[in-house]
């Protein structure tokens, strides 16, 4: 180790328990890096420095007073930021919008409660785009979130700030959320490992409704083991949740330490969007991953199409209606960004029968698709159709063109929000320009364990932890 932020979160937690590293030391280290570097990468919209140091002091005292420090919570003293789409009591809560620029959180989201119980220290709120709607993080309340691999390019979205923080050494791990790729997109463009869990694995309550079941919280990390540990911490149902995930045997962290066995893996690089073109760099990452899976002893076969372009309008219907769920006070509509205003107008013009019809069509498609997909242990895709996009590539366009560019950029992710299946992005490839190009693996409902074991095998075969952007050593 040359710097504290070289430690994995798992190693960091162990070092806190043994007294090798002190929670106050961790908090001070990350806060100092945030102060120096956050303006460059746009990772945080709010930094809770005073709270972080107070929580770190309490964590340090708990280590000193513990009869057996090994029994302390799994993330005791480890700094973890929370996405600004999730409420934290007593902390500013903007949802990436000027509409909420003066709001302070009045309760903890359930996922925040679980992070606190796990002993984590809150560094601040990571940047998110307005209401989490686009696949990039550029807005009016914080600087653009940038991938540290090329600061002229976007860190993706909507968990762009979270990914920028982890990839820049401004946090060891981060909580994110994913309604159409919002964990996998930024993890891919920032060279990280991210997990979108099975629908219902992590509670969205008590504030945010789960009406459509598209969105879920999840982890963003540098290593598979760290992501699995964070998933263990965040997972669990709460009263009132509309969805429940199948139970898992043991911990998710334990799956990162066991071999997956020989798996039957399907693959497809055909996007459901007719006019989406998969960039040669993304094809190269996909083909290299296919070859590596075969080398590791897995059976890899091409998958027949299961989701067609006819489903895209129905997903768009639900996405536009979701844009209307966040309340905007009368008279504040002018504060919204053009894309948000456009999406909300589409949603408000949608009738109840149209919403029900969209749900019905998507459910019918899933009934036909699951018998095919369940014949495989995992399914391989490119995570994205293009390399990381320049800042402004989406945001500077009129809403219609903006939205079309987003669809062409990420035509693979949303299908697994529709189905509720778990999916991960794995940072196996960098192109000739030094930009990370992720590959995506999806699994059966409740199959996060298999994806974690398989990803850990890939990580061991092609380690990526030592590959860091220049800002890492700043």
Active site residues: 83, 158, 182
Element housing 436 (H / E): strand 436-443
In angstroms and rounded to an integer, the radius of gyration of the C-alpha atoms of the chain is 21
CB atoms within 10 A of CB 17: 18
CB atoms within 10 A of CB 292: 17
Cα distance between residue 364 and residue 138, in whole Å? 36
Cα distance between residue 149 and residue 147, in whole Å? 5
Name residue, tokens 């979130």.
145
**Residue 378: strand, helix, or coil:** strand
Give exposure, 377-389, as e/b (b: 16+ Cβ within 10 Å): bbbbbbbbbbbbb
Cα–Cα distances (Å) from 181 to 54, 149, 414, in that order, read 35, 20, 6
Cα distance between residue 412 and residue 135, in whole Å? 13
What secondary structure does DSSP assign to 406-437, as a single string? Answer: HHHH-TTTTHHHHH---EEEEEEEE-TTS-EE
Nearest to 438 by CA among 389, 386, 403: 386
Cα distance between residue 347 and residue 322, in whole Å? 7
Name residue, tokens 């990162």.
256
């Amino acid at each position: 180790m040359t710097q504290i932020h070289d430690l994995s979160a798992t190693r960091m937690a162990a070092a806190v328990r043994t007294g090798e590293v002190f929670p106050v030391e961790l908090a001070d280290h990350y806060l100092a890096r945030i102060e120096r570097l956050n303006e460059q990468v746009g990772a945080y919209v709010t930094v809770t420095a005073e709270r972080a140091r107070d929580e770190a002091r309490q964590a340090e005292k708990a280590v000193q007073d513990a009869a057996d420090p090994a029994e302390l919570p799994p993330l005791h003293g480890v700094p973890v930021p929370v996405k600004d789409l999730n409420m934290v009591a007593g902390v500013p809560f903007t949802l990436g919008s000027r509409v909420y620029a003066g709001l302070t959180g009045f309760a903890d989201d359930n996922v925040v409660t679980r992070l606190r119980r796990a002993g984590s220290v809150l560094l601040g709120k990571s940047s998110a785009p307005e209401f989490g709607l686009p696949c990039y993080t550029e807005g009016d309340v914080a600087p653009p979130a940038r991938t540290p691999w090329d600061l002229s390019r976007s860190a993706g979205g909507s968990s762009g700030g979270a990914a920028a923080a982890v990839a820049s050494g401004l946090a060891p791990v981060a909580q994110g959320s994913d309604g159409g790729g919002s964990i996998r997109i930024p993890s891919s463009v920032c060279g990280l490992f991210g997990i979108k869990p099975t629908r219902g694995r992590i509670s969205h309550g008590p504030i945010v409704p789960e009406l459509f079941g598209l969105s879920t919280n999840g982890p963003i990390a540098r290593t598979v083991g760290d992501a699995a540990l964070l998933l263990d911490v965040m997972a669990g149902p709460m009263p009132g949740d509309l969805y429940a995930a199948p139970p898992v045997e043991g911990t998710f962290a334990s799956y990162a330490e066991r071999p997956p066995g020989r798996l039957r893996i399907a693959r497809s690089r055909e996007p459901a969007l007719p006019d989406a073109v998969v960039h040669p760099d993304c094809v190269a990452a996909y083909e290299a991953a296919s070859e590596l899976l075969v080398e590791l002893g897995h059976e890899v076969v091409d998958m027949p199409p299961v989701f067609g372009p006819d489903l895209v309008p129905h997903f768009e219907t639900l996405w536009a209606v979701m844009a209307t769920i966040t309340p905007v006070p009368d008279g504040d509509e002018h504060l919204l960004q053009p894309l948000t205003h456009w999406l909300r107008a589409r949603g408000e013009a949608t009738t109840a029968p149209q919403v029900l019809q969209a749900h019905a069509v998507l459910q019918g498609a899933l009934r036909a698709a699951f018998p095919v997909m369940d014949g495989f242990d995992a399914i391989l895709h490119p995570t994205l159709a293009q390399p990381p996009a320049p800042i402004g590539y989406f945001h500077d366009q009129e809403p219609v063109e903006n939205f079309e560019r987003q669809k062409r950029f990420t035509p693979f992710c949303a299908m697994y929000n529709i189905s509720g299946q778990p999916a991960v992005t794995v940072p196996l490839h960098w192109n000739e320009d030094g930009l990370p190009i992720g590959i995506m693996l999806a699994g059966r409902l409740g199959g996060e364990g298999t994806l974690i074991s398989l990803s850990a095998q890939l990580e061991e075969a092609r380690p990526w932890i030592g590959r860091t952007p220049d800002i890492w050593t700043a």
